[in-house]
Structure formats: C-alpha cells, structure tokens
Amino acid sequence: MSSKTMLQQALTRFFDAAKHLNIDPTILEKWEFPLETTHARLTIRMDDGSLKSFRAWRSRNDDTRGPTKGGIRYHQSVTADEVETLAFLMTIKCAVVNLPFGGGKGGVQIDPLSLSKTELERLSRRYVQIFSKVIGPNRDIPAPDVNTNAMIMAWMSNEYDSIVGEVTPAVITGKPISLGGSLGRD
C-alpha cells in the first residue's frame, strides 16, 4: 500500500502524463496544492434535542478558468484528502472539455441514512451557513454528489438565498427544475 495521499497519487499520475505534453511548468507547480480548503464542524440539533457535530470540508482547487464547481458528498468515510483530490480531478475534467470552471468539491463525514429527514435538512442548511462565504455563483458552485440529491440542493439553495437576501439560482446546481434546475441532471 502506498504511503502517498490520494491527492499525491493523482498528482503523480497527472505529472507523468504532463511530461508528454507541452505544459508550462509554472502551471504544473500551482496544482500541487489546492487554492483553498476550508475545514469546519457542523453542529446540528437532533430530533431528540441533543446536539451532534460532523466534520465537513469545501475545497477549491483552481479558479484560473472561472468559478470552481463540484459536488458535495455525504458519506461516513469522506476525508479532506478525498475532497481535495476530487476537486483537483474536477479541475482537469473542466479543462479537458473546455468548460469555464475550475474544480471544487465538498463533503460531510456522515452516514445520511442515520439521520431523519428533518435532521438531514438541518445538516444541509448548516453546511451552507458555515460555507456561505466560500460558495457563490462567481466563486464556487456546489452540486450533488454521493448521497446528495435535488432535495438537498434545494434546501441548500434556499438557505443561501436567505443568507444573501435574494434569490440566487446560479449558486447551486442539481436543484429541482421548478427551482431553477436543469433538465437531464438526474
């Protein structure tokens, strides 16, 4: 088993491939680390009245091509390394298909099946409350990923609108069509 992190392994493969292309070394150098990764604790009230905290992250890999974009995953084994690696890979995917975005990714260390629907909503809204200064339509655009869906994106979008005081449909993708979502997203 390799002692390298998931991100180091992905970067090694990328740098090996880059040797066959004419890529400016300064571009390669800046991808060694994410632009930023925000770590947070999401504390919510559970249905039984207790408080419970969950680890959460949002990583922005590179915004050279435009705002960062990427999903939010809810999974009990998600880590900062995984989130940073997936943000890096999203940067590559957007560049390969010539989209005007950089890569981002988020995660919450939780088994969403262990939460009631109201607890899941509280957690989703809390994610946006904590990361509202990091996300935005011109900065970082979250989307659904593992164990997140249109309903969760709708709660997140609604929470962001409440925080900024206006309807901002471009802040989050993967919402229901009735709330500004796109056909074919599912």
3-state secondary structure of 49: coil
Instruction: Enter the tokens of residue 151.
Output: 């309903």
User: 105 an active-site residue?
Assistant: yes
For the beta carbon of residue 1, count every other beta carbon within 10 angstroms: 3
Q: Name the pLDDT band for 186 (thresholds 50, 70, 90).
A: low
For the beta carbon of residue 74, count every other beta carbon within 10 angstroms: 27
Residue 42 near residue 132, CB atoms below 8 Å: no
Please give the mean pLDDT across all residues of the chain.
93
Query: Which tens digit of pLDDT belongs to each residue from 26-78?
Result: 877 887 789 999 999 999 999 999 999 999 999 999 999 999 999 999 999 99
The pLDDT assigned to 82 comes to: 97
CATH number of the domain located at residue range(s) 6-179 in this protein: 3.40.50.10860
The pLDDT assigned to 185 comes to: 59
Q: Name the pLDDT band for 148 (thresholds 50, 70, 90).
A: very high
Question: Catalytic pick from 4, 30, 52, 105?
Answer: 105
Residue 89 near residue 10, CB atoms below 8 Å: yes
Amino acid letter, residue 41 = R
Instruction: Enter the tokens of residue 43.
Output: 């504390």
Q: Where do the structural domains in the chain lie, given as residue ranges?
A: 6-179
The pLDDT assigned to 28 comes to: 79
Give CA–CA dist 119/100, Å, rounded.
35
14-18, 33-37, 81-85, 104-108, range with the lowest pLDDT = 14-18
On the question of pLDDT at 1 being above 60, the answer is no
The pLDDT assigned to 50 comes to: 98
What is the dihedral angle through the alpha carbons of 125, 128, 130, 135, rounded to the nearest 10 degrees? 180
The pLDDT assigned to 179 comes to: 85
Question: Strand pairing of 68-75 and 140-144?
Answer: parallel
Residue 153 near residue 129, CB atoms below 8 Å: no
In total, the chain counts a number of residues equal to 186
To the nearest whole percent, how much of the chain has pLDDT over 70?
A: 97
Find tokens 């392994």 and name the residue: 9
